[in-house]
A and B are shown apart, each in its own frame.
Chain A
Amino acid sequence: MSIEAKLLSANFDRIIPDSLEDYKRFGGYNGLKKAMNMRPEQIIEEIKLSKLMGRGGAAYPTGIKWEQAHEVKKFPKYVVCNADEGEPGTLKDKYVMDKDPYKLIEGMTIAAYLLGAREGYIYVRGEYKKSQEILRGAIKNAVNANYLGENILGSDFSFDLEVISGAGAYVCGENSALVESSEGRAGRPRMKPPFIKISGFRGMPTLLNNVETFASVPVIMDIGGEEYASYGTDYSGGTKLITLSGNVVNKGVFEVPFGITLREIIYELGEGIANGRKLKMIQMGGSSGACFSEELLDTPLCYKTAKAKGLSLGSGAILVIDDSNCVVDFAKCITEFFLHESCGKCTPCREGNRQLAKILDKFAKGKASKKDYVSIDRISNAMTNGSFCGLGQTAATALTTSLKFFKEEFDAHIYGRCLTDCCSMSEGEE
């Protein structure tokens, strides 16, 4: 399909994932070799030119992040990969790890070379046992071939990489919670400042990036930052892995250039809505992302444009919801998810999700009133603007945005009707 790009995913399904020979046959480790012949400033400059931005969801410019990490003069430094991929509807990091694990390893090795880091860790989602095995195998092969370990490629640069298994908490996608969990403590976010870049893993400077971000770096080193950037828009350079799921015909992980529209993604890559139904709603960026209606379908995939429309690409999850689904029911599910995943540390997130779940339950049972809108508004504001970490700050996004686009469905529930018959409306009535 023409609108797909094949940079990061070029090796998907064409190499044996943990075969180092295969990886090298298709240009693997060219990026590292080039980087090891470059000055640190040159490496940083290439990444800046690529306009690569953090692919985990926060979209912080990677070049600037690496420059800051390089400038910190405290050692040892650590390179840590966020492979927790807890965002519902997101599968792209798993694809990278399962189908081309050396890209991630090479990317982390380049980062370690730049920073002078001796150790790196890949924090992999606990449920991804297979990915963990593949990575461990690939790391072993890389060590045996001297791409990891002591004196890499005959240089005085040494770097060890280890896989850490997550334990099933969504909040560990938050970088400081991930670091807490990596150190063996309960995964709860840390106080910032100090930031991870200064005081992260074991209290030392830590560069923490998402799988896709690290895996993009060998490509950038290989083809050059400018070339990479040219795939995307002026603001968002290169390509993005998206996970298309929900009520579309063709679901899956796709690599697309920035700039293509959601309509193209859903109707060309996704081949339209399944079962002859109509599109109702899209949620972009995972459970913490905004829900919106068809009217925003022509938004091009770009961090800047999305932001202008109140959206966020987040992890690149695109969930398509057809007209057989109830928005209230959906918002309730999302809120219950966040209620389950809140670490419990701060009031707005712990108590806010509890109250929101309770209110949405009232909607689903036809027991809500207009007064509940005031409560939703107050609670979601306190959560969004006042929570300790990103989890609480984004937990109410799906609810508030779906209220914006589908208020009439919520209203109908107040009057005792679920337009899709998803909500029982009377369950639990005394």
Chain B
Amino acid sequence: MNMINIVIDNKRLTVPEGTTILEAAEKVGIKIPTLCNHTDQTVKANCRICLVEVKGSKKLSAACATPVWEGAEIVTSSKSARDARKTVLELILADHAQDCLNCIRNGSCELQKLSMEFVICEPSFDNIAKELPIDDSNPSIVRNPSKCIRCGRCLEVCHDVQSIGTISTAHRSDEYVISTAFNMPLDQSACVYCGQCSLVCPVGAIYEKNDVDRVWESIDNPNMHVIVQTAPAVRVSLGEEFGMEPGSIVTGKMVAALRRLGFDRVFDTDFTADLTVIEEGYELIGRLRNGGKLPMITSCSPGWINFIEKFYPDQLEHLSSCKSPQQMFGALAKTYYAQRAGINPKDIFVVSIMPCTAKKYESTRSQMYSSGYRDVDAVLTTRELSRMLKLAGVDFRNIEPEEFDAPLGISTGAGVIFGASGGVMEAALRTVYEVLTEKELDKIDFESVRGLEGIKEATVYINDMPVKVAVANGLKNARLIAERIKRGKCDYTFIEIMCCPGGCIGGGGQPHTTTNKAREKRIGATYTEDKGMKLRKSHENPAIKELYKEFLHEPNGHLSHKLLHTTYRHRKHIK
């Protein structure tokens, strides 16, 4: 590798060829302000907040986009650079709604943070922001184009990571906007509600639909029995909302905090993750034995379900008919749990805490009323939960951990790993292997299906028969799998597909601290949590065993089909 000698802010530095000024500055302890730049994305260089001076040139350079060259002498905070940056920031602010105090991103907004650093006390330019209509047409994601600073992060994630492209740039100059085709509302677009755009948006232009108020209302209602379930991926990310390091495991703190909020019972989606393993495992065994449609593909991820229904509706038969753990939980909460607790299901309000925006939509699907009521009444993202906790003054970092309630809070390590890409596959293999071979697994860690890689493969020998499996995360990779199926070139038996990069730990409802690095840390934490569990195979979960004994009677049985399985439908992209 060629090394380049430069001087940056009076310090001599040797860096590899290709290093940008932004990266070089970091090495000398200078954080150049950025806005459109995102650590996991390509360089866009369109906000121009990172302008720096290179001696000998009157033109300023965008630090994010300029590779250093031999002998370059860079002054990151020269007068002309400081002046230009401040002007750029003020120009953005002059085209931005001035209602920070009423904004959902108040306190977590990157533009606000820059304004703080630049100390803009008095605006220099007239505010010329246009008020554009807010799109809250769907249950998952809200778009407020008046707040948009046109950084293009949402576009990149929608096009390049998820291969959807439901939003694009439209028009030019002061009309330049990020828009759906023909500016149709999102619910009439190809959007799958994955919310990855809301994760990368630096400002309050794209965010989750707020369901916090509905949850407070139900808690406030003394006649309502309010129970909450928490998704596996939330326990390894929630801490970041309170300044903890990515990968902090906060399961017990989260349970305690939820009790402080006033939930009557704190349960765990991991319980129904274990149940999903049983139902889906038996479904797979059934398909193998009866010549059913293969490869079978998992159905836990609602973004993925939206994707296949909208883009590959002729492949719906490949989907497992299992509902997602969230929806299995809701259906059981208002039947099995209601009976056991002696509570009328109409008086039960089920809240789920999810790393996901698509889960909000999922809970509204017409198939999700199998208990006779709406199975899951409200879905909160990790971000919304953190807002509730902050409002209630919960000292999250110092709260004493507590345990989940029984029985819907009892789970195994197999349920925990649902949160990471490859986890559903690994959990299923732990069970399917032992059921089919009636032997105990020597090694229950299937490491080849773990990690951030887009498509992972493994071959497992069950009764000496090779079973090829694949795991995909991120819809771009899901599309590759679907294309293989379309071309008849897909010889896998079982495929796990998760909509979001890294699986649910990287979901669209997670904290804004989500980057691929944070994803890796959360994945690490997920497997640590799994390792620490007494039981690590779903079929060994005593509460699940009891559930079958007392209520469901058998996997894939009549009641299972009524409560735990679902159907899918063809959906056109655009109406």
B551 adjacent to chain A (CB < 8 Å): no
Residues of B within 8 A of A340 (CB): 173
Residue of B nearest to A187 (CB): B172
Residue of A nearest to B44 (CB): A191
Of B46, B84, B171, B174, the contact of A346 (CB 8 Å cutoff): B46
Of B44, B46, B51, B174, the contact of A354 (CB 8 Å cutoff): B174
Given contacts A375-B125, A378-B83, A381-B87, contact A355 B173 (CB under 8 A): no
A87 adjacent to chain B (CB < 8 Å): no
B459 adjacent to chain A (CB < 8 Å): no
Of A350, A378, A379, the contact of B176 (CB 8 Å cutoff): A350
Residue of B nearest to A171 (CB): B172
Interface 0/1 of A67-79, CB less than 8 Å to B: 0000000000000
The answer for the CA separation of A72 and B201 in the assembled complex, in Å, is 40
Q: Most chain-B Cβ atoms within 10 A of its Cβ — which of A351, A384, A385, A387?
A: A351
B91 near A379: Cβ-Cβ < 8 Å? yes
Of A193, A343, A347, A385, the contact of B172 (CB 8 Å cutoff): A343
A344 near B175: Cβ-Cβ < 8 Å? yes
Residues of A within 8 A of B95 (CB): 351, 354
Distance in Å: Cβ of A117 to nearest Cβ of chain B = 28
The answer for the CA separation of A191 and B46 in the assembled complex, in Å, is 9
A129 adjacent to chain B (CB < 8 Å): no
The answer for the CA separation of A188 and B58 in the assembled complex, in Å, is 24
A381 near B84: Cβ-Cβ < 8 Å? yes
Inter-chain CB contacts under 8 Å: number? 112
Q: Most chain-B Cβ atoms within 10 A of its Cβ — which of A339, A344, A375?
A: A344
Given contacts A355-B94, A355-B125, contact A344 B174 (CB under 8 A): yes
Distance in Å: Cβ of B99 to nearest Cβ of chain A = 19
Distance in Å: Cβ of A346 to nearest Cβ of chain B = 5
Residues of B within 8 A of A378 (CB): 83, 87, 124
Residues of B within 8 A of A59 (CB): none
Distance in Å: Cβ of A337 to nearest Cβ of chain B = 11
Of B46, B67, B128, the contact of A358 (CB 8 Å cutoff): B128
Residues of B within 8 A of A128 (CB): none
Main SS at interface, chain B: loop
B48 near A387: Cβ-Cβ < 8 Å? yes
Interface 0/1 of A311-340, CB less than 8 Å to B: 000000000000000000000000000011
B88 adjacent to chain A (CB < 8 Å): yes
Distance in Å: Cβ of B55 to nearest Cβ of chain A = 14
Given contacts A379-B87, A382-B88, contact A347 B47 (CB under 8 A): yes
Residues of B within 8 A of A347 (CB): 46-49, 88, 91-92, 149
Interface residue ranges of B132-184 to A (CB < 8 Å):
149-150, 169, 171-176
The answer for the CA separation of A353 and B125 in the assembled complex, in Å, is 12
B171 near A344: Cβ-Cβ < 8 Å? yes
Which B residues are within 8 Å of any A CB, using their own CB? 43-49, 51, 58-60, 62, 65, 67, 80, 83-84, 87-88, 91-92, 94-95, 124-126, 128, 149-150, 169, 171-176
Which A residues are within 8 Å of any B CB, using their own CB? 169, 171, 186, 188, 191, 193, 339-348, 350-355, 358, 374-375, 378-379, 381-382, 384-388, 393
Q: A188-B169, A350-B173, A379-B91 are in contact. List 15 more A-B contacts (CB 8 A).
A: A193-B67, A344-B173, A345-B46, A345-B150, A346-B48, A378-B87, A381-B83, A381-B84, A382-B88, A385-B59, A385-B80, A385-B84, A386-B88, A388-B48, A388-B62
